[in-house]
Structure 1
């Protein structure tokens, strides 16, 4: 057999992947080694992104006094585009081609900036880093009676916490966002709450940094004649909604943050001031060095910092950070672990898992909090101890 360039790339990728896995297996940390572009990159090797023109959730744009819906739809198996003016009270829908599901929703009348602190509810389900995996999100939410088979909120006055990175890598980002948008409104009406926290991938998309954007979205944007940069701009409904979101919140005495709080993070800022500052950074243009060094959105910011997940800080450092925010625990995502796990003598819980692989095997896992106790829970509602 002729050993061509493709064979070499494949073999080299396998060797590198095994090496990375081996280096991290003892710590339980798993590195993401996949990234997609038009001709995607896997450890700088060629990896073709075969995603293409396909159905998606609506993109709602405010144009002067008009509200315009742009959407790629499937009608009797034929994929086409729709551009139409709508009214605020009109019903909108998402058809999710990955699961053949449809759910409906309406635009919210007002979008308000979130509070940063909340009292502890009876129950919390928390999950992070879904990355456009609608199938996995559906599995964990329906399996734990957060939503019913029609995607309606049934979790009462309890809370759902989504700890960032619902963008990129997957092919149903828009549908995931609209489902969260819908559930946020429905939960509020019955005294419950959906907390959607910004992660680094939300920030990247809001700032037009599209390294991990799948080809589907580029093709859909071209077909709709609506540049992807407009999908989450200040003139779009989802863009406006995302700009109301926090990056760090405290529920009861538990801090939720996408990546973690660096021990050297300036202590003079309150939770609300941190969130306000991150929101302001979304629409400020920085060069690479400025952004990388920015305390709120840079490489050691709450959106990007891996030092806690990699246990590069001391027990004292972590407890001192928690003490500053009057918190007992910190829940983080961003850095993949093999299972939901305690760090720092149970002061930190990392909940970022390989959801794509798990959902392909028919399983999903999230963090369940009830009566002051913490569990890993699967998509059948089965709880397990965390170690």
Structure 2
């Protein structure tokens, strides 16, 4: 046998061994919904042609989106079949008053099963995974991407919840975390190996699977990085005193994030303001509240600047939802990312409580 044939045989054997060692579930993925290339200049947002791509038994399938509905191919497991919506891709206000009930959580990182159990046990969703929080507001302070192996399940579930919340008179606020920014910008260090197959079969890098020409990518690009509800300001990492020195408003920052998310790190770092917002002491990376040298006096200045009494953040992992500085800072990254359990924050008529994984609630 020639050297080239030996090499080919060796590669084939290695590929077969890799596929054999993969969990069966990893051979199913999607859907990835793309705008079709040839879009008429007269096409409206509602009649634009779209194509859905599915991976079933490690093979690529496609289907045309019809009437905003997706139908997965036969023998394709339990992959999501979302009903698409243009309404949830509109940029919404970033400040709200008079909201009686708020639930907040963070850093899901692809842990779909933990997320579903937590929300069911706390009666935020019903037995069929549908919105059950009425006119309440849900805030997810970023980091659905990376680490875990059910990213698309999480994304499509939250997409549907966004649609259902609006229909019920409520609201879902999905905020961008540092891992959303990383993936959309091409920093793929923490992407789970499950998604290597999609990139291979579709000949696209993981960030391209959520590009501006995709349904999920457009939805994500419409979202804020900070939102203010009643007297609470929410974001992924935190607000540093450097923000105050720059005199930024929430609206200014949200627009800059939306306009520039997806740009590579090298480009963002060339702009001094964008370098601050996307990195270092910016609101998706800052961890200063958890350091010994951070003082309540510094925090009070930040709260006064935004005219709020509380700041709620994820990003810095805790064992539970945690209140600091007499609940002026509330940390809601309860380590859902570990895939075992998690908590959420509930605010009901200005009363703060921890929503535990088993459904119980405790005052914060």
TM range (shorter): 0.7 to 0.9
For 1:297 and 1:350, the matched residues in 2 are separated by 20
1:5-154 matches, cutoff 5 A: 53-62=26-35, 63-65=37-39, 66-73=49-56, 78-92=57-71, 104-110=81-87, 111-154=89-132
Structure 1: where are the runs of 5+ without partners? 1-48
1:1-387 correspondence runs (5 A): 53-62=26-35, 63-65=37-39, 66-73=49-56, 78-92=57-71, 104-110=81-87, 111-265=89-243, 266-287=245-266, 290=269, 294-357=275-338, 359-360=339-340, 363-386=341-364
C-alpha distance after superposition, 1:160-199 (max 9, x if no partner): 1101101000001111011111111111011111110000
Cα distance change of structure 1 residues 92 and 138 upon mapping to structure 2, 3 Å threshold: farther
| Cα distance between partner residues in 1 of 2:229 and 2:65 | 37
Q: Say if 1:223 and 1:289 are closer, same or farther in 2 by CA, change over 3 A.
A: closer
SS of aligned partner of 1:313: coil
**Distance between the aligned counterparts of 1:356 and 1:228, measured in 2?**
20
Q: For residues 377 and 275 of structure 1, what CA distance do their matches in structure 2 show? A: 29
Q: Secondary structure at the match of 2:188?
A: coil
Deviation string 1:267-291 (CA, Å, 9 cap, x unpaired) is: 5221111100111221444428827
Distance 1:276 1:239, change over 3 A: same
Whole-Å Cα distance in 1 between the matches of residues 186 and 309 of structure 2? 36
Shift >6 Å, 4+ stretches: 49-52
- State the 1:93 CA deviation: 6.1
TM-score (norm 2): 0.83
Task: Quote the Cα distance in structure 2 between the aligned partners of 1:297 and 1:371.
Answer: 34
Separation in structure 1 between the aligned mates of residue 300 and residue 22 of structure 2, nearest angstrom: 46
CA offset at residue 159 of structure 1?
Answer: 1.3
Number of residue pairs the alignment of both structures matches: 328
Q: Distance in 2 between matches of 1:248 and 1:136?
A: 25
Q: Which has the higher strand share?
A: 1
Q: TM-score, normalised by structure 1?
A: 0.79
**What's the CA shift string for 1:208-258, capped at 9, x where partnerless?**
111101111122221233432321111011111111111111000100010
CA distance in 1, matches of 2:257, 2:102: 25
Distance in 2 (alpha carbons) for counterparts of 1:104 and 1:59: 11
State the distance in 1 between where 2:298 and 2:73 align.
Answer: 45
Q: Contact 1:142–1:148 (CA<8 Å) still a contact in 2?
A: yes
Once the two structures are TM-superposed, the CA of residue 296 in structure 1 deviates from its matched residue by 1.1
Distance 1:261 1:93 in 2: 43
Q: Aligned partners of 2:78, 2:34: CA distance in 1, in Å? A: 24
Whole-Å Cα distance in 1 between the matches of residues 349 and 268 of structure 2? 45
Evaluate the alpha carbon distance shift between residue 319 and residue 338 of structure 1 in structure 2; reply closer, same or farther with a 3 A threshold.
same
Structure 2 CA distance for aligned equivalents of residues 120 and 51 of structure 1: 48
**Structure 2 alignment gaps of length 5 or more:** 1-20, 40-48
Question: 3-state DSSP class of the match of 1:105?
Answer: coil
Please state whether the residue corresponding to 2:254 is helix, strand or coil.
helix
Which structure has more helix as a fraction of its residues? 2
Q: Offset of 1:103 from its aligned partner?
A: 5.2
Determine the C-alpha separation between the residues in 1 that align with 2:58 and 2:267.
39
Instruction: State the shift of 1:55 in Å.
Output: 1.8
Q: Matched residue of 2:277: which SS?
A: coil
Aligned equivalents of 2:271 and 2:294: distance in 1? Answer: 20
Deviates more, 1:83-92 or 1:373-382: 83-92
